[in-house]
């Protein structure tokens, strides 16, 4: 419970902090990257409340296997009892700002248990964030395994 509260506070703090910036401010990118880290923590803790605050309702999510998920489907998968992520790490993240849109690229590494079997996935992601109603929301996210 404590971890969930912590995640919600972390996400809300990041959103509030970012909302206080002018969209033209270069520090916006740094703060959107903070939201990326908050996302990892929330996903690892299965904190769907925190994730709900990060995603736009029309989120377009493409998973590592090419499957498409809506926001509701993504949150349901996170909450699933058959999935137990133990480690969610992102690295080499870069943000590109286009007006009130930030595109983040980076590498991800996830480890855990799914249906009782261990998994480890490494890939590249692109997330699209837009500034809406005074906060930054992720509107699109896609993962691609690194094959070479």
Contacting residues toward other proteins, per CB under 8 A: 56, 58, 60, 62-68, 96, 98-101, 103, 105, 123-126, 128, 130, 132, 139-140, 142-148
R_g of the chain, CA atoms, integer Å: 15
Whose Cβ is closer to other proteins: residue 27's or residue 67's?
Answer: 67
How far is the C-alpha of 130 from the C-alpha of 137, rounded, in Å?
A: 6
The conformation of residue 95, written as its DSSP 8-state character, comes to E
User: Minimum Å distance from CB 62 to other proteins?
Assistant: 5
How far is the C-alpha of 68 from the C-alpha of 65, rounded, in Å?
A: 9
User: Minimum Å distance from CB 136 to other proteins?
Assistant: 12
User: Minimum Å distance from CB 123 to other proteins?
Assistant: 6
How far is the C-alpha of 140 from the C-alpha of 117, rounded, in Å?
A: 29
Whose Cβ is closer to other proteins: residue 47's or residue 74's?
Answer: 74
Whose Cβ is closer to other proteins: residue 8's or residue 95's?
Answer: 95
Show the DSSP H helices in the chain as ranges: 2-19, 27-44, 48-54, 71-79
Whose Cβ is closer to other proteins: residue 1's or residue 147's?
Answer: 147
User: Minimum Å distance from CB 17 to other proteins?
Assistant: 21
How far is the C-alpha of 42 from the C-alpha of 120, rounded, in Å?
A: 19
């Amino acid at each position: 419970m404590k971890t969930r509260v912590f995640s919600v506070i972390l996400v809300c703090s990041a959103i509030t902090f970012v909302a206080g910036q002018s969209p033209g401010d270069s520090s916006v990118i740094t703060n959107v990257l903070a939201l990326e880290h908050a996302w990892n923590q929330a996903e690892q803790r299965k904190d769907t409340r925190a994730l709900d605050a990060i995603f736009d309702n029309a989120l377009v999510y493409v998973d590592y296997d090419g499957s498409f998920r809506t926001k509701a489907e993504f949150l349901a998968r996170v909450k699933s009892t058959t999935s137990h992520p133990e480690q969610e790490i992102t690295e080499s993240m870069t943000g590109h700002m286009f007006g009130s849109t930030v595109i983040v690229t980076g590498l991800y590494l996830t480890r855990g248990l799914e249906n009782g079997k261990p998994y480890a996935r490494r890939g590249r992601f692109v997330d699209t964030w837009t500034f809406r109603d005074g906060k930054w929301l992720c509107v699109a996210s896609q993962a691609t395994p690194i094959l070479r």
